[in-house]
Amino acid sequence: MPNKALTILIADEQHLQRLYIEKMLNKLGYHRIVPVQTFEEVQLLTAIPAQPFDVLIINAGLAVHACGLQPQAHHVLVYDHQDLSLDMDATADATPAVLVRLPGVPDSVNLEHFMDIIDPPAATTGLRVLPWLRELSRAPVAGA
């Protein structure tokens, strides 16, 4: 079950892209999401180090305008990152715990794997019985 307390900031200049990512996160069970359009909005919302966002999902085009400024976030996903050797300049104390760069726009699989790193699913205890196996065990035995 996803951690419903996680706060997620999505930064992209394109409204439809922000909406697409937000919908995928909603399907995964995350709803505390703030979509923004500019890097200035990211800086405003992450300016208070005492209340950093848990996750920042940002388009590399906005991150380029960062000019060495690192927003406060525990985990960062940078997408549409064409130059994967480029690092976001960050001071040692502002380095996120998880920093992932994707060469393109995240799809549902990429986003699910990224969120699983940050918010691992709870381990299931006991045996997991498949529905068809449960039904088979309830059916009467022929010829008995």
Residue with tokens 């940078």, as numbered in its chain: 78
Q: Which helix (H) or strand (E) holds 79?
A: strand 73-79
Tell me which of 65 and 115 has the higher pLDDT.
Answer: 115
- Its pTM stands at 0.75
Of the pLDDT bands very low, low, confident and very high (cuts 50, 70, 90), residue 24 is: very high
Each residue of 74-102: b (16+ CB within 10 Å) or e? ebbbbbbbeeeeeebebeeebebeeebbb
- State pLDDT tens for residues 69-110: 677 888 999 998 766 444 444 433 456 788 888 988 999 999
